[in-house]
Amino acid sequence: RLDTSGTNRALSHRNGSTRGRARGCGPLYAEERRQEIAVIVRQDGRGDVAELAARFEVTPETIRRDLTDLEQRNVLRRVHGGAIPIERFRAEPAVAEKTGRMAAEKSRIAEAALAFVPEQGTVALDAGTTTLALARVFPDRSLMVFSNSLPVGIEIAARRNVQLYVVGGRVRGRTLAHVDAWALRELSDLRVDVAFVGTNGLSVERGLSTPDPSEAAVKRAMCSAAQQVVVLADRTKIGEEDAVRFATIDDVDVLVTDRGLIESDRRAIEAAGVEVVLA
Q: In this predicted model, which residue has the larger pLDDT, 127 or 96?
A: 127
Distance between start and end Cα atoms, the chain = 47
**What is the DSSP annotation of 112-155?**
HHGGGS-SSEEEEE-SSHHHHHHHHT---SSEEEEESBHHHHHH
Question: Is the distance from CB of 172 to CB of 179 less than 8 angstroms?
Answer: yes
Q: Against a cut of 0.85, is the pTM above it? A: no
> pLDDT band at residue 272, thresholds of 50, 70 and 90?
very high
Look at residues 121, 97, 187 and name the one whose alpha carbon lies nearest to residue 149: 187
Instruction: Supply φ then ψ for residue 59, to 5 degrees.
Output: -80, 155
Question: 10 Å Cβ neighbour count for 255?
Answer: 28
Look at residues 219, 95, 134, 226 and name the one whose alpha carbon lies nearest to residue 169: 219
pLDDT in tens, 216-243: 999 999 999 999 999 999 999 998 888 7
3-class secondary structure, 79: strand
pLDDT in tens, 177-215: 999 999 999 999 999 999 999 999 999 999 999 988 899
Question: 10 Å Cβ neighbour count for 158?
Answer: 12
